[in-house]
Structure 1
Amino acid sequence: MTAQIVLVHGIRTSASMWRAQLRYLSERGVPAVAVDLPGHGTRMAERFTLEGAFDTIDGAVRDAARRGPVVLAGHSMGGLLCLEYAGARTPPPIAGLVAASCTSIPRGAGLTFYRVLARGFDRLPDRGMWLTQRMLAATLPEHTRSDFGAGGYAFDTQDLALGLLSTLDIASALPRIRVPLWFVNGQYDQLRLNERLFTRLAPHSELLVVPKTSHLVSAMRPDVFNALLGLAVARIDAGDQAPT
């Protein structure tokens, strides 16, 4: 059976951030689905909860697992949620995991600073969208530039979600992950803070650092990220498993 891909977006954005990946996978006949988490995209009116987020991921994974082995991929907040989900005491039905731009424990001074910064942006005229658009225009190629905001920005969910992320126990989850695991970071990603810790806690994992790339690695270098998804699919289709 062919590997199935489930894609989980980061904070503020939505399933639309994966447009380049969905096109790539569709062209190669790889079944893929990108979900919207509560409080984001098509579910903007819902309240974000960790339980709702995990239910969304689990529902998509179990549906896809009926058709083939599942490669789960998440970016930023989505990556952290996927790590926690994959490292549950009762392993979920996934065959591989791609965790992008998320090798940082969401606690302490770093998280506090990020929340203060986000609140400051939120108080700007038009909630900082003028600056956001200028930053995207300066860093992303034209064909992916609109993808992050196409499903709307979850401004009202962001601070709540950041606070809830601090309750995750990623350090305990990582050693329990027993499927092929790829960490993907941009060279200049601010969330590389605990990169060494993550790879030490998951010694069977592989780390790929994409040069000259920031936090938005899947949109900034879509060809590289897509190639990695293709590699993951090929490895899982070939029956690759993580060491026990």
Structure 2
Amino acid sequence: MQFTIHGATAYAYTGGKAFDPQLPAIVFIHGAQNDHSVWALQSRYMAHHGYAVLAVDLPGHGRSAGPALASIGEMADWLLLVLQAAGARRALLAGHSMGSLVALEASRRAPDAVAALALLGTTYPMKVSDALLDTARTDEAAAIDMVNIWSHSSIAHKPSCPGPGFSVMGGARRLMQRMSARNPQQLFHTDFAACNSYADGEAAAQAVRCPTLFVFGTKDMMTPPRSTKLLTGTVKHGRIVTVDAGHSLMTEAPDAVLDALAGFAATIHHEETP
């Protein structure tokens, strides 16, 4: 599904079903150097089980035209324009890593448009080391390899992964490389810098009044569970689910992530149905 936002093409995958704004809506937001495909399993399932799905490509990523946006606030504003263009009055925002900050900030800027938040692989502050920022700027291929290793809990994955012979690490690496090829303007550095400089997370968390789900990977080295206490302590009503995975938890533990999201979405839909 395509929209025009600020004169540029914006793309959202709808899970194999036409987007119906009369259905409860779920918006999936990817992380740095990724696109909508990281949500392929979860978004397709939800689209075929009664939900209107938008798995967006942020500007400069995947099929959405660039340039990439330089701040979390700009991404949040763009996301809210996509919701308006799609005719979605309220939506559950599910964001991973950088996308979780976009979802959180969008809820602060337009609370009436956000029915609930699902924040996966999240933390605040989401600081990035100077060494990694410098590598992302000077040697993006090396930064991709570094982050890909740190984002996964093991090289060989369990049979619960998407399919026989499927390499989770190999797929993630190729996706990041593809994003570089499609947008050679230091995309990874732009994304990392946006996460690193975002300063409104605590204020945004304090403003959250909607139901909130946190999903953490027990082996996450990028946003380790011990670093999440500011967010989870501020959003005191948030529910926490942990899965046996690293930072790339949607592909390492797809069924567990889906169970958490589907159960949470069903609860929200039940509460909002008159």
> Normalization by structure 2: what TM-score?
0.73
Task: Find the aligned partners of 1:58 and 1:148 in 2 and give their Cα distance.
Answer: 29
Tell me whether 48-57 or 33-42 shows the greater mean CA deviation.
48-57
* Residue-by-residue CA offset, 1:55-112 (whole Å, 9 max, x unaligned): 3311233355x45641110000001111122123x524111110000123123xx543
**Partner amino acid for 1:14?**
D
Q: Is 1:205 aligned to 2:261, yes or no?
A: no
**Partner amino acid for 1:235?**
T
Instruction: Find the counterpart in structure 1 of residue 105 from structure 2.
Output: 84
**Partner amino acid for 2:33?**
R
**Partner amino acid for 1:158?**
F
Within a 5 Å distance, the mapping from 1:36-185 to structure 2 comes to: 36-43=57-64, 45-50=66-71, 52-63=74-85, 66=87, 69-88=90-109, 90-107=110-127, 110-116=128-134, 118=136, 122=140, 124=142, 132=148, 138=155, 141-143=161-163, 145=168, 146=171, 149-150=174-175, 152-154=178-180, 156-165=186-195, 166-185=197-216
Higher RCO structure (Cα 8 Å, ≥6 apart): 1
Kept in 2: contact 1:75–1:99 (CA 8 A): yes
Shift of 1:205: 0.8
**Partner amino acid for 1:234?**
A
Task: Find the aligned partners of 1:176 and 1:120 in 2 and give their Cα distance.
Answer: 38
Within a 5 Å distance, the mapping from 1:178-193 to structure 2 comes to: 178-190=209-221, 191-192=223-224, 193=226
Alignment RMSD, CA only?
3.1
Q: For 1:218, which of 250, 255, 262 is the aligned residue?
A: 250
Kept in 2: contact 1:71–1:233 (CA 8 A): yes
- Pair 1:210–1:132, CA change in 2 (3 A): closer
Task: Find the aligned partners of 1:39 and 1:179 in 2 and give their Cα distance.
Answer: 30
Tell me whether 137-146 or 38-47 shows the greater mean CA deviation.
137-146
* Residue-by-residue CA offset, 1:109-130 (whole Å, 9 max, x unaligned): x543442454576254xx7569
Q: Paired residues, what number? A: 233
Task: Find the aligned partners of 1:209 and 1:36 in 2 and give their Cα distance.
Answer: 26
Shift of 1:21: 1.1
Secondary structure of 1:179 counterpart: coil
- Pair 1:148–1:31, CA change in 2 (3 A): farther
Secondary structure of 1:138 counterpart: coil
Kept in 1: contact 2:94–2:120 (CA 8 A): yes
Shift of 1:172: 1.1
> Normalization by structure 1: what TM-score?
0.81
Q: Which runs of 4+ in 1 moved over 6 A?
A: none
Shift of 1:26: 2.5
Kept in 2: contact 1:69–1:94 (CA 8 A): yes
Q: Is 1:19 aligned to 2:57, yes or no?
A: no
* Residue-by-residue CA offset, 1:176-206 (whole Å, 9 max, x unaligned): 0110011111001120342111111111111
Task: Find the aligned partners of 2:108 and 2:66 in 1 and give their Cα distance.
Answer: 29
